A and B are shown apart, each in its own frame.
Chain A
Amino acid sequence: MRSVKSLATAAEAGRHQREWFADLRRRVADGEPFALLNADVPHEIFRTMDIPYAVSQWWASLVAAKQRSGHYLELVRQRGYPDYSEQYNAVTLGSAFDPEPEAGPWGGLPKPDIIVGDATGDVTRKVFDIWGHEPGVTFYPLESAAENEVPVNWWELMPHRWEQAVGPARLDLLTAELENLVRFLETTTGRRFSESRFREVMALVNEQEEWNRKTRDLIARTRPAPLGVVDSIPSVMLPQWHRGTEWARDIAKRFYEEVRERVDTGQAACPDERARLMWIGRGLWYDMGFYQRFQDEYGAVFVWSMYLAIAADGYIRYGDDPMRALAARFAAFTDQLYTPPWSSEWYVKEARLHGIDGVVHLVSDDPRGSYFTARALEAAGFPVIEIHADNVDARTFGDEVVERVGRWLENVVLA
């Protein structure tokens, strides 16, 4: 029996998100510039300059949650583009082609003036560049650079010794690209960039992620788990899209306090917890019920997803040069999650920290280092089951997945 209803912070984050979006639509209607940003680009610059922005992946997850991704992918297909490629960004591109944009979720995504995305993979830059050819839209791409040799223990190095973790070549490149981005935004929007405001924003982000770190550590050491990932994801991710605001810092603190209170009063996601599960991969946005399904029947609780953990380990950057520290936050961001040895060693570290009994690994077709993740976890003694699906394209999710996971719980994890 599920004893936990959604957290108050999750509910408040949801309410704030709707109000924020309505306000954003008003500001854009009043003629303010609007930026659409990929998740891995430095939002902090837009925050500092008070340029309204939305995050491409957040929009795609909302569309998927409304079961509307098929509609937007169809619009992409009608223009002759593939509907089976880079769906996470293609769904959002589809909203640019929508003849009735206001029929979209929450009144629809306003038409952006500026798009910023990084050139990860072969297709991301193309998708945003195609969007950049719509009238009135400018695309500002950022490079996605790679490094030959990296120290394995990035999570220990990143807060203060990020220069050593990321390497000077990538940091010099992204720092220069960001300086140019500021100039571009000053020129095209007429807004000013204030260095003291920038320092405030950077400090607020570190504070917010420090609260997330405390929350992660608390959940990791508490048995039974005070909450599962369905509750933690909105409480951490919605504030994440508001990084650098006092609201986001404060709600991260309240999220911690709420979890603390659950721990102190002995509340649990599943009081009869028999197994602690780790979810590796993006959120299954079109079926968030997936995560709770196994609690009732097996006492198996998803206590870990990357969202809280990457907030805890992946964002904090201290240092005297805020632009270089910001570059250090993003110059190797995806490597933390997807590139061995960084990703694989980090998942093992997190599995140990959380006392994980089994790992469910969502493997989508996009080319990430999944073998090495599973290998490292299994070598460290954690059973892994892989499920294959795209996280925003419900058409790829097979009916048999739930049954397979159930059999694996019975035969492997709980056996």
Chain B
Amino acid sequence: MPTALAALEEAYARRAAPRPPASPASSEGLAGTRTPVVGYVGADMPVELLTAAGVSAFRLTGDPESGSALGDRYLGRGVDPMARSVLTRLLDGAFGDLDHVVVSHDCEASLRLFYALRELRRVEPGTRLPEVYLVDILHLPHRTTARYNRRRIGEFAARLEAWTGRPLDLAGAVAAHDERRRLLAAVAELRRAVPARLTGRQFLAVADPGLPVDEHIALLERLLAEAGRLEEHTGRRVFLSGSDHDTPHVYEAVESEGYVIVGEDHSFGGPQPDRPVGAGGLDALAEHYHHSGPTAHRATAGERAAHAARAVRQCRAEVFVAYSRIADEAPAWDFPAQRAALDVPAVLLERQEYGRADLTALRKEHPCAV
């Protein structure tokens, strides 16, 4: 049997690829119809609801290698290339047969992607895109926003019930996702150890292998049991801030130069200061997602700086790298306050190409690491 880490890495490599048709037993819902397959976009997706509905769900990711001509055409080049790539792959059928695409408003690029999908279905039905649904979770720290989010979460829950024809098992789903959070936090400790017992690249796979939550939990438990057998990674310790990384390209580029990424603050990485949802149903879920983050796109520069200072200390990072992808400019606005809040060297890699890292500025900061 492969190690848990190998199994997670293998699942990560396959994630978001077309799934083989499920076996008849598992693909039949109570209503006698196929279990809906849902692709979702965005950090603010209340995944507990997807699990509670019993749909087969996975987060859609882009691919910097496979071109994005269609996404560029429909979204324009002012939109984060990650979203342009996701749209291209959707149009190419790279995700297989999806019944629904659900998008959260976690950043401008996700919202533009939603609008493009909605409009393409309307004016170019030949594209054969699946139905698209927006979950509009917002983040100003006010009660007005909390009430709005609760309403949107309730609407989404009702929509899922309409899709599957059965009630949600919310308590079970919340318990499962909370357990996954707890295990991921424990795995994050392995990476924070000195020396680190996981690389950043490995951690991406561990955090987001695209598996159903119960399978993911089982592998995380095994990984923790096998922790004693993990290698030690002694590279210079980097905290990576900024744009989302839906693929390992940038992690591989940075770590190939002798660094090890021991923490990050983007939504494909390790748990943020992430509390359990706990009991309480839709109210608790709405509050959880209201306060999630702080992400580059929705938090203030001050919140981001305070978080960076805490996180860098916690994972004993020696260098802070802020990565701002071209057309994803929010992280570049955060950087001055982050640098001021830190007592380690801080480097901004700005206007980076999707899937690439120009490390010139980092090398200048730390010539000895090369």
In the assembly, what is the distance between CA of A81 and CA of B301, in Å? Answer: 11
Q: What is the distance, in angstroms, from B349's C-beta to the closest C-beta of chain A?
A: 13
In the assembly, what is the distance between CA of A379 and CA of B119, in Å? Answer: 14
Q: How large is the interface on A (under 10, 10 to 19, 20 to 34, 35 or more residues)?
A: 35 or more
Q: Are A176 and B116 in contact (CB under 8 A)?
A: no
Q: What is the distance, in angstroms, from A206's C-beta to the closest C-beta of chain B?
A: 26
What B residues does A109 contact at CB under 8 A?
none
**A interface footprint on B208-238 (CB within 8 Å = 1, 0 otherwise):** 0000000000000000000000000000000
- B75 contacts the other chain (CB 8 A): yes
Q: A122-B296, A367-B76, A368-B78 are in contact. Are A145 and B115 (CB under 8 A)?
A: no
Q: Are A122 and B330 in contact (CB under 8 A)?
A: yes
Q: A123-B329, A123-B333, A173-B145 are in contact. Are A370 and B76 (CB under 8 A)?
A: yes
Tell me the B47-98 residues at the A interface (CB within 8 Å).
73-79
Q: A129-B301, A340-B115, A365-B78 are in contact. Are A85 and B145 (CB under 8 A)?
A: no
**B interface footprint on A349-384 (CB within 8 Å = 1, 0 otherwise):** 000000000000001111111111001100100000
Q: Are A86 and B78 in contact (CB under 8 A)?
A: no
Q: Are A79 and B336 in contact (CB under 8 A)?
A: yes
Tell me the A162-180 residues at the B interface (CB within 8 Å).
169, 172-173, 176-177, 180
- A42 contacts the other chain (CB 8 A): no
- A28 contacts the other chain (CB 8 A): no
Q: Are B109 and A367 in contact (CB under 8 A)?
A: yes
Q: A82-B350, A122-B297, A177-B144 are in contact. Are A341 and B119 (CB under 8 A)?
A: yes
In the assembly, what is the distance between CA of A370 and CA of B112, in Å? Answer: 11
Q: What is the distance, in angstroms, from A275's C-beta to the closest C-beta of chain B?
A: 27
- A133 contacts the other chain (CB 8 A): yes
- A19 contacts the other chain (CB 8 A): no
Q: What is the distance, in angstroms, from A267's C-beta to the closest C-beta of chain B?
A: 39
- B147 contacts the other chain (CB 8 A): yes
Q: What is the distance, in angstroms, from A38's C-beta to the closest C-beta of chain B?
A: 15
Q: Are B148 and A172 in contact (CB under 8 A)?
A: yes
Q: A122-B296, A130-B333 are in contact. Are A340 and B76 (CB under 8 A)?
A: no
**B interface footprint on A295-325 (CB within 8 Å = 1, 0 otherwise):** 0000000000000000000000000000000
- B283 contacts the other chain (CB 8 A): no
Partner of A119, one of B78, B140, B327: B140
- B358 contacts the other chain (CB 8 A): no
- A265 contacts the other chain (CB 8 A): no
Tell me the B99-121 residues at the A interface (CB within 8 Å).
105, 107-109, 111-112, 114-116, 118-119
In the assembly, what is the distance between CA of A239 and CA of B148, in Å? Answer: 34
Partner of B302, one of A127, A129, A344: A129
- A126 contacts the other chain (CB 8 A): yes
Q: Are A85 and B144 in contact (CB under 8 A)?
A: no
Tell which of B130-138, B246-254, B274-282 binds the partner.
B130-138
What B residues does A290 contact at CB under 8 A?
none
What A residues does B337 contact at CB under 8 A?
130
Q: A126-B334, A369-B112, A376-B123 are in contact. Are A146 and B148 (CB under 8 A)?
A: no
Q: Are A126 and B119 in contact (CB under 8 A)?
A: no
- B40 contacts the other chain (CB 8 A): no
- B339 contacts the other chain (CB 8 A): yes
Q: What is the distance, in angstroms, from A123's C-beta to the closest C-beta of chain B?
A: 6
Tell me the A95-136 residues at the B interface (CB within 8 Å).
119-123, 125-127, 129-130, 133
Q: What is the distance, in angstroms, from B356's C-beta to the closest C-beta of chain A?
A: 18
In the assembly, what is the distance between CA of A372 and CA of B76, in Å? Answer: 10
- B313 contacts the other chain (CB 8 A): no
Q: What is the distance, in angstroms, from A381's C-beta to the closest C-beta of chain B?
A: 15
Q: What is the distance, in angstroms, from B16's C-beta to the closest C-beta of chain A?
A: 23
- B300 contacts the other chain (CB 8 A): yes
What A residues does B34 contact at CB under 8 A?
none
In the assembly, what is the distance between CA of A364 and CA of B327, in Å? Answer: 12
In the assembly, what is the distance between CA of A130 and CA of B336, in Å? Answer: 11
Partner of A366, one of B78, B140, B144, B334: B78
Q: Are A365 and B77 in contact (CB under 8 A)?
A: yes
Q: A130-B333, A169-B151 are in contact. Are A143 and B115 (CB under 8 A)?
A: no
**B interface footprint on A70-99 (CB within 8 Å = 1, 0 otherwise):** 000000000111101110000000000000
What B residues does A121 contact at CB under 8 A?
108
In the assembly, what is the distance between CA of A50 and CA of B114, in Å? Answer: 40
What B residues does A180 contact at CB under 8 A?
142, 144
Task: Name the residue on A nearest B120 (C-beta).
Answer: A372
- A187 contacts the other chain (CB 8 A): no
What B residues does A176 contact at CB under 8 A?
144, 147
Q: Are A367 and B148 in contact (CB under 8 A)?
A: no
In the assembly, what is the distance between CA of A59 and CA of B266, in Å? Answer: 35
- B354 contacts the other chain (CB 8 A): no
Q: Are A372 and B123 in contact (CB under 8 A)?
A: yes
Partner of A146, one of B73, B105, B107, B123: B105
Q: Are A367 and B332 in contact (CB under 8 A)?
A: no
**A interface footprint on B191-210 (CB within 8 Å = 1, 0 otherwise):** 00000000000000000000
Q: Are B138 and A86 in contact (CB under 8 A)?
A: no
What A residues does B75 contact at CB under 8 A?
367, 371
What B residues does A145 contact at CB under 8 A?
136, 138, 148
Tell me the B330-362 residues at the A interface (CB within 8 Å).
330, 332-337, 339, 350-351
What A residues does B140 contact at CB under 8 A?
119, 141-143
- A148 contacts the other chain (CB 8 A): yes
What A residues does B151 contact at CB under 8 A?
169, 172
- B122 contacts the other chain (CB 8 A): yes
What A residues does B330 contact at CB under 8 A?
122-123, 126
Q: What is the distance, in angstroms, from B144's C-beta to the closest C-beta of chain A?
A: 4
Q: What is the distance, in angstroms, from B361's C-beta to the closest C-beta of chain A?
A: 13
Partner of B107, one of A85, A122, A126, A363: A122
Q: Are A80 and B335 in contact (CB under 8 A)?
A: yes
Q: A129-B301, A129-B302 are in contact. Are A122 and B108 (CB under 8 A)?
A: yes
In the assembly, what is the distance between CA of A177 and CA of B143, in Å? Answer: 9
What A residues does B109 contact at CB under 8 A?
367
- B152 contacts the other chain (CB 8 A): yes
Q: What is the distance, in angstroms, from B340's C-beta to the closest C-beta of chain A?
A: 9
In the assembly, what is the distance between CA of A363 and CA of B115, in Å? Answer: 18
What B residues does A292 contact at CB under 8 A?
none
In the assembly, what is the distance between CA of A262 and CA of B336, in Å? Answer: 55
Q: What is the distance, in angstroms, from A327's C-beta to the closest C-beta of chain B?
A: 11
Partner of B336, one of A80, A86, A169: A80
In the assembly, what is the distance between CA of A133 and CA of B303, in Å? Answer: 12
With A370-B76, A371-B76, A372-B123 given, name 9 new contacts (CB 8 A): A80-B335, A80-B339, A85-B333, A123-B330, A143-B145, A177-B144, A341-B122, A365-B77, A367-B75
8 residue pairs from A and B, CB less than 8 Å apart: A126-B300, A126-B301, A143-B145, A173-B145, A339-B115, A341-B123, A344-B119, A370-B76
Please provide the 7 A-B residue pairs with the shortest distance between their CB atoms, ordered closest to farther. Answer: A80-B336, A85-B329, A365-B78, A122-B330, A340-B119, A122-B297, A82-B332
